[in-house]
Structure 1
Amino acid sequence: MKVLQINTTVNSGSHGRIAEEIGRLLIENGHKSVIAYGRTALSSRSDLIRVGKKADLALHLVKTRLFDRHGFGSSHATKEFLKKIDDINPDIIHLHNLHGYYLNVKVLFKYFVKINRPLVWTFHDCWPFTGHCSHFQHINCAKWTTGCYNCPLSLSYPKSLFVDNSKMNYYQKKDLFTGINEMIIVAPSQWLAGHLKNSFLSDYEIRIINNGIDINKFKPVDSLVIRNKHNITKKYILGVASTWTEKKGLEDFKQLKNINPELDIVLVGLSMKQIHAMPPTIKAIPRTEKIEDLAALYSGAEVFINPTYSDNFPSVNLEALACGTPVITYKTGGSSESIDKKTGIVVEKGKIDRLVDAVYTILNNGKNQYTNNCRARAELLFNKDDRYNDYITLYSKILKK
């Protein structure tokens, strides 16, 4: 079996690591794995194909900023990529994130219709069925259910400065994405599966496969070295994001800055500009791809907080659980699906007082009351080998039809 995956990144960020781990399992089971990417690629066991060059990304970004046509640039780069797909001749094509300034979905999906190859598409956000945005929960927008127009998020990723083409984008995506004969859509959360059933993609088979993590790397470990490295001298609560924005709850964390003089707040994933703007009561750490550092930070925390306003099925929750740390999350997207009453607390979005109460509930109960349950839940439900083997099984079933 020969599988081609397409994603913005390889082995970087949550969706990039998912593609890499699926590829690893394919190879270990005697199959062929190729991953095509547009932006960042770290070391990989799969064969890699870069789609386009930096100049193509830059031109696509300009087209997005000026004309709100994200996903409809990079025409030449995509056509060159299609020649490589012909050479590979994959049995299955597995799509992940197609946005990110590197692909032309019109060129790509017309090609898919032509070759009539089975498609699996894992949705890591909502971009494929909206006219512009990748997430809309934080403003409770439902235009995507009937047809986007006058987008209230045109200045959000993928930012358009002058033009709103959300209506055109929506109907072009609808026409392109519903023109595929054989496609299975995978949602990592029940929440996203529910939205897909209300979208223009509802006629396709929709399956739920939760994200997985490496429970042999994300596990309870000693945190002394990482504490000394970042001068963390007190007990601490932790937040982790690949990019911190208001949608990820950065302002909510700032409101927790004086929650308890005996507690540090540690945030990982901040830009240098954000680090310099943080109040002194928040320990600010830049983004890191070092899993051993992240595991130590998760392990040392009394509680992990994810006050996200827009999310699908965040891997950071799973990583914290695997390290034995209870999770407090807002009731956002599929974020709350990763925990139960024995492993954390769910809080309504924006309720800072409830967030504080939840922190004190866990502190008063003691982390030890949660640790074993957290680890057990991660081992049972979110082991990457189990979850990504679900994809291998899915590929095999498709090819046996």
Structure 2
Amino acid sequence: MKFIVSSSVLLKNLSHINGVVATNPIVPILENFLFKIDSNDEGGVLTVTASDLQTTMTTQIPVEATESGAIAIPAKLLLDTLRSLPEQPITFNIDTETFGTQILTDNGRYKLAGENPIDFPKIPAVNKNLSVEISSDALASAINNTVFATSTDDLRPAMTGVYLQLSEDQATFVATDGHRLIRYRRTDIQTSANTSMIIPRKALQLLKSSLPDNLTVRAEFSQSNASFSFGPTQLICRLIDERFPDYENAIPTKNPNVLTIGRTDLLTTLKRIMIYANRTTHQIRLSLKGNALTLSAEDLDYANEANEKLLCDFEGEPMEIGFNAKLLAEMLSNMHAKMISIQMSAPNRAGIMVPADKDENEDILMLVMPVMLNTYA
């Protein structure tokens, strides 16, 4: 079996799906890409598949080929070779009996050992119970605003993914790790049926890194799998079969104390102050009085201390509240509004961060749990 392909086109497409390949997979065959050639009168199509059993990505590349066939090729070895080659047509010669593979370039020959493609796991089928078309920009924005807040604790599997609720008038994406909660809504994603599912973090991160701009993504969902197709690429992942926490009850409704401030001003000040916070707790103190916000941090172990005052717009009773600076900074970094509002009720109740100026099709709410302030002031 033989086919010819552009080295840069092959590298670009393989880079999109390489993130699926695990470094130490349970099944050794998963260290490979599955190459499948379908030849036709116009030349041929190479379908490349990468899988880790939970997530599968495929991409299609036009090639010059005279016969059909399949082979599993070591992913790392092939990618390292392609990265070091200049742009040129390269020829793959494959022995279908031994699966030995030769890559021929303008002035070189590389031999590597392929594997029997029959051992590669089959691509899971997605019985299309529901399908929806989403713009790639809207989907990328939803992933960017939520996936960072998912949990890494495998003992709470429901929190290791993003909860997606689809309805006739909107789509709601929710992520939480127990310390913070993000609820992101879009009114330009609508379906004919009401449904919900939990999409794993890894699948969404892979999707985020490979989504092109200004393209329509076709999302299809079944009871156990989700599929996202865009251009020549498709991602299929197994959904998390767990019950997501009742997040609506965690969001406090009465928050009379409202701080409105420039997001960039708060973030840059926070980054300076958190250098002086305790290395373990990352605790910072927000003191609100009148139109002034004082951020302070102290680390008694090293006698480090810092405070800074900012002008703000504050409505409510004077109060002091403690937050984990690391979580707060990450949330502010993922928000894009110029002005933000932080709504609070009491020092032991969650704070709610929302953009002061909302976009037309999106609604974002970020909740962060407070940390107990030390009694020393």
Q: Identify, as 1 or 2, the structure richer in helix.
A: 1
TM-score normalised per structure 2: 0.23
Q: Identify, as 1 or 2, the structure richer in strand.
A: 2
Highest CA radius of gyration, 1 or 2? 2
TM-score normalised per structure 1: 0.22
